[in-house]
């Protein structure tokens, strides 16, 4: 099932479930089936075991193993990449700050050596 279709089915199922019971912690099978029929135009063809697995948010997140996924390993990889990028940016900033400070010192020294001769004011 395409992601957008699945998202629409689940969104409708969540809204319908919360309309029925604002304190609900899971989506009843009949609500999910009705949402699928409304969005897709046909019944959802998933085995009960597959639907039961969706009741465990940690298990669902753990399935998101792809690049940029929400499972632990991809998240650790993203954090590592961000830390490497941050370290590289900090290193660049230090080097650039040092180069700018050195350039400023040279420019000031040059300006002091080249002070213009004072001219008499003309009246």
Instruction: State the sign of the Cα–Cα–Cα–Cα dihedral 65, 60, 39, 15.
Output: negative
pTM metric for this prediction: 0.55
CA distance 20 to 52: 20
Find the radius of gyration of the CA atoms of the chain: 32
The pLDDT of residue 38: 96
Tokens 């940016």: give the residue.
89
pLDDT at site 117: 63
Please give the distance of CA 57 from its chain centroid, rounded to a whole number. 19
The tokens describing 43, both together, are: 């019944």
pLDDT of residue 52: 78
Q: How confident is the model at residue 119 (pLDDT cuts 50, 70, 90)?
A: low
Question: Residue 18: pLDDT above 70?
Answer: yes
pLDDT at 12: 96
> 53-100: per-residue pLDDT in tens?
777 888 888 989 999 899 999 999 999 999 999 999 999 999 999 999
Gap between the Cα atoms of 36 and 83, Å rounded = 42
Residues ≥6 apart with Cβ < 8 Å to 105: none
With beta carbons less than 8 A apart as the criterion, state whether 66 and 74 touch. yes
- Residue boundaries of the structural domains of the chain: 1-55, 67-116
């Amino acid at each position: 099932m395409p992601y957008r279709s699945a998202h629409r089915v689940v969104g409708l199922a969540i809204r319908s479930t919360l309309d029925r019971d604002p304190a609900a912690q899971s989506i009843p099978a009949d609500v999910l089936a009705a949402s699928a029929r409304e969005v897709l135009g046909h019944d959802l063809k998933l085995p009960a075991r597959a639907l039961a697995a969706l009741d465990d948010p940690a298990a669902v997140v753990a399935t998101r193993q792809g690049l940029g996924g929400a499972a632990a390993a991809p998240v650790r990889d993203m954090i590592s990449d961000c830390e490497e990028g941050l370290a590289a940016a900090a290193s660049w900033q230090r080097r650039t700050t040092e180069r700018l400070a050195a350039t400023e010192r040279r420019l000031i020294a040059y300006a002091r050596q080249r002070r213009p001769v004072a001219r008499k004011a003309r009246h």
